[in-house]
């Protein structure tokens, strides 16, 4: 080969490498987090503050140079709570280099995306679907499963019933959205009620967007409910309890809620109607969250005087877990060899990871998909969510159901 040919060949090779480099469109060390979120749809009220917390953890991490020099890129997709849009968006981003974690904001989206996550050897996090604990795969839940939390509520109900001097067991009613989320609590929760000897009334389901809930509430009240558990994402439970209050039911019936029960969003509008409502939560709520120094500092730094919602802290927890997982994955394989599967393996090593009091310690392991095991019970008092218990381990209700 002549000297001139060698020079031209070198140039050609340089061009080739440039093209390849441009095609991968990445020069800096970067990993990606995809949020299949709802920013303008039905549950935007809670998802927006949640992703604010997540984004602020990412900003903070990147501002400090990233994780071992690796920066985190956040991609937020507004699905407007639509499963079809979420799957289409996942299709668009599934081949993004080093897309390590996907957060699916609804039970329905999580179930649809799960199949693709398995195929792509990635991991996703979802709200509280116990099915993903029953069948261990690549989908992790944010805290204890919905049915675990419902079982913890039933334990509290039993304690409350006895503390009020009653004998026997109470009658419990349940109403929630007519969708996979609404039914999930009972897949194990119902079995747990039976185990406690609680008389569990036939559940009532209503479509999201229902304006008045009088019919369902009246039916449960007439059936003799001593306690009614109101599901749905705030402000739905707030509106259910508003209706119960207007019907005069809250005088004799204790209302309870799950993770998505009244937050600052609902309590700010219907404090009087919500007075006394009991909420079972895997993350800190109300002033307890607002005054958590770790949460307060980040909020002050990035959000300033905006109106605080406690779901912000829960979003921080998603981010902290991602950062912790990334550290483990990078330590195991380094950046160049890092694949989504390495992050999946890393998440299973996070058991015991401390979340600064925002929620219980991480419980992810090869046999656990629960983000934490503990819940705390709050009561609405004087327009605020006030803790009435410490962190307590939620019963394993998932194992009681045949999935």
Q: Name the residues that contact another protein, by CB under 8 A.
A: 2, 4-5, 8-9, 11-13, 15-16, 19-20, 23-24, 39-45, 77-89, 91-92, 95, 112, 115-116, 119, 208-209, 211, 235-236, 239, 265
Give the nearest distance from C-beta 20 to another protein in angstroms: 6
For another protein, the closer CB: 75 or 388:
75
Tokens at 166, concatenated: 């009653």
Radius of gyration, CA atoms only, the chain: 23
For another protein, the closer CB: 85 or 384:
85
Give the nearest distance from C-beta 265 to another protein in angstroms: 8
For another protein, the closer CB: 112 or 196:
112
- Closest-CA residue to 209 (of 51, 86, 41): 41
For another protein, the closer CB: 8 or 403:
8
Q: Residue 166 and residue 173: Cα distance in Å, rounded? A: 18
Q: Are 264 and 378 in contact (CB under 8 A)?
A: no
Tally Cβ neighbours within 10 Å of residue 307.
Answer: 9
Q: Residue 105 and residue 96: Cα distance in Å, rounded? A: 20
For another protein, the closer CB: 89 or 324:
89
For another protein, the closer CB: 121 or 331:
121
Largest CA distance in the chain: 100
For another protein, the closer CB: 115 or 195:
115
Q: Residue 302 and residue 298: Cα distance in Å, rounded? A: 6
- Using left for φ > 0, alpha for ψ between -120 and 50, and beta otherwise, residue 177 falls in beta
Give the nearest distance from C-beta 361 to another protein in angstroms: 34
For another protein, the closer CB: 235 or 315:
235
For another protein, the closer CB: 235 or 395:
235
Give the nearest distance from C-beta 145 to another protein in angstroms: 24
Give the nearest distance from C-beta 110 to another protein in angstroms: 14
Alpha carbon separation from 155 to 50, 51, 243, 275 (Å, rounded): 28, 32, 26, 21
Give the nearest distance from C-beta 286 to another protein in angstroms: 20
Alpha carbon separation from 398 to 152, 259, 349, 352 (Å, rounded): 12, 17, 22, 21
Q: Are 280 and 254 in contact (CB under 8 A)?
A: no
For another protein, the closer CB: 19 or 163:
19
């Amino acid at each position: 080969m002549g000297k001139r040919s060698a020079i031209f060949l070198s140039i050609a090779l340089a061009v080739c490498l440039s093209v390849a480099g441009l095609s991968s469109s990445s020069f800096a060390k970067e990993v990606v987090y995809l949020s299949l979120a709802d920013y303008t749809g039905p549950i935007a009220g809670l998802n927006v503050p949640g992703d604010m917390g997540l984004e602020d953890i990412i900003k903070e991490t990147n501002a400090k140079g990233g994780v071992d020099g690796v920066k985190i890129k956040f991609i937020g997709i507004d699905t407007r709570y639509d499963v079809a849009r979420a799957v289409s968006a996942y299709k668009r981003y599934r081949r993004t280099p080093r897309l390590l974690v996907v957060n699916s904001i609804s039970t329905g989206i999580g179930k649809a995306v799960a199949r693709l996550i398995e195929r792509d050897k990635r991991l996703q996090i979802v709200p509280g679907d116990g099915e993903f604990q029953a069948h261990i795969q690549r989908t992790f839940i944010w805290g204890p499963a919905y049915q675990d939390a419902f079982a913890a509520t039933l334990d509290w109900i039993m304690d409350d019933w006895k503390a009020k001097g009653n004998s026997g067991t109470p009658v419990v009613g349940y109403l929630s959205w007519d969708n996979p989320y609404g039914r999930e609590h009972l897949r194990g929760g119902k079995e747990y009620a039976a185990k406690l000897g609680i008389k569990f009334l036939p559940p009532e389901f209503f479509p999201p967007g229902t304006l008045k809930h009088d019919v369902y509430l009246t039916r449960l009240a007439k059936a003799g409910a001593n306690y009614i558990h109101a599901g749905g994402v705030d402000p739905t439970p707030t509106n259910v309890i508003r209706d119960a209050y207007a019907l005069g039911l809250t005088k004799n019936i204790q209302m309870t809620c799950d993770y998505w029960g009244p937050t600052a969003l609902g309590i700010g509008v219907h404090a009087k109607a919500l007075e006394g409502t009991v909420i079972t939560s895997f993350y800190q709520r109300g002033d307890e969250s607002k005054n958590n120094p770790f949460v307060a500092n980040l909020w002050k730094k990035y959000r300033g005087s905006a109106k605080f919602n406690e779901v912000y802290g829960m979003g921080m927890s998603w981010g902290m877990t991602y950062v912790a997982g990334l550290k483990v994955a990078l330590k195991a394989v380094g950046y160049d060899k890092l694949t989504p599967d390495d992050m999946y393996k890393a998440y299973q090593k996070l058991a015991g990871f401390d979340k600064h009091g925002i929620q219980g310690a991480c419980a992810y392991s090869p046999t656990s998909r629960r983000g934490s095991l503990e819940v705390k019970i709050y009561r609405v008092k004087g327009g605020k969510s006030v803790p009435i218990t410490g962190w307590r381990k939620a019963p394993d209700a998932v194992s009681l159901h045949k999935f």
